[in-house]
Amino acid sequence: MNMKGLTLTRHILLEQRAHPTATGELSTILTQIGLAAKIISRVVSRAGLVDILGVTGSVNVHGEEVKRLDEYANQTFINVFGHSGLVCTLVSEEMEKPRHLSENCSQGKYTLFFDPLDGSSNIDVNGTIGTIFSVHHRLRGDLHGSEKEWFQPGTQQVVAGYIIYGSSTLLVYTAGTGVYGFTLDPSIGEFLLSHERIRVPPRGKTYSINEGNGPYWRPPTRAFIDHLKQKDPESDRPYTSRYVGALVADFHRTLLKGGIFLYPGDDKNPTGKLRLLYEAAPLAYVIEQAGGRASTGTERILDIHPVDLHQKIPLIIGSPVDVALAEDFFSGRTAQEKDRSKRV
């Protein structure tokens, strides 16, 4: 059945029917994330007109300047989930400590991790930005409300996805049964199904990395990027380069067109820059559900057990063939072993 044009809410309800034990809470969480996305999208689309550009004057837990839109997006999530009865704890890039919504905790079975406004450096130049989210079950017993509850590996995510505020606003999510994208139709205020069962191409022709970090790169990164730039028509090299500098935008292109995105560890940032719980793990869940891979270079992202709420992790994500080749370089496999991926 062609489901194009279905509203996000209706799609979620149909998905829910496939799980007879579902209580509907998860569906409502997704609907609420959609609501937060609409509120943020409305302000983003009028950013030069309403008083929302610029910085707040404060610095976040990562030592980065907080933009007013960062703060607005964060507060929107708090407002949307406050008194919702759905989520007990919010973990955000913009908040050093988890935020307990105590009014929800007696019934809310979930924890929400999110990066409210990803790609902040693009805000003031009208560039693409996004929101990333991930939902985990709360744990029972002694572990409830403790670090153990929040430090679960990405394999335990129940829902994950992102919103991209680009030429249109798109919400992409997975609940473990494929990846779906919904485009916001501002004239009716609804997200409508536009991308059904997204699959990442097995390999691409594009690599995405901040080349300005070149002087700090470690040998495997340099060797891999040099390899992609070499001329070899037989294996469709050189690859072309694209880098927006907003993870959601670079990831979304990679998901639809194939290729590879890397933010590896380097001599300046030994564990890279991106955060495990609300950036790398949710996107890793999405890419795996679309047939792709996500790795640190030596380890599957979804298998990593977090040790800190704001932990950084090297991220290599995209088409399965491209990521497998990168892993050959990062794990120091021999030239002969690499030969098996010679096609690339």
- As measured in angstroms, the least distance from the Cβ of 122 to ligand FDP is 6
> Considering the rule CB under 6 A, would residue 121 count as an interface residue with ligand FDP?
yes
Site membership for ligand FDP, residue 149 (CB under 6 A)? no
Contact partners, residue 127, CB within 8 Å, separation at least 6: 119, 121, 244, 245, 246, 249
Nearest to 101 by CA among 77, 80, 83: 83
Parallel/antiparallel/unpaired status of strands 315-318 and 293-295: antiparallel
Please say which residue, 86 or 225, places its beta carbon nearer to ligand FDP: 225
Yes or no: say if 111 and 150 are a contact pair by the CB < 8 Å rule. yes
Which of 116, 119, 297, 318 touches ligand FDP by CB under 6 A?
A: 119
Binding characters for ligand FDP, 273-312, by CB under 6 A (x = yes): xx----x---------------------------------
Does 120 bind ligand FDP (CB under 6 A)? Our answer is yes
Q: By CB under 6 A, is residue 246 in contact with ligand FDP? A: yes
- Cα(306)–Cα(100) distance, integer angstroms: 20
Cβ 151 to ligand FDP, closest distance in Å?
20
Using the rule CB under 6 A, give the single segment among 79-87, 222-230, 239-247, 321-329 that binds ligand FDP. 239-247
Q: Does 247 bind ligand FDP (CB under 6 A)?
A: yes
Q: For the beta carbon of residue 205, count every other beta carbon within 10 angstroms.
A: 16
Burial 97-118 (b: 16+ CB within 10 A, else e): ebbebeebbeebbbbbbbbbbb
Closest separation in Å from C-beta 313 to ligand FDP: 12
Whether the CB-CB separation of 316 and 297 falls below 8 Å is answered with yes
Query: What does the binding site for ligand FDP look like in residue numbers (CB under 6 A)?
Result: 118-121, 210, 245-247, 250, 273-274, 279
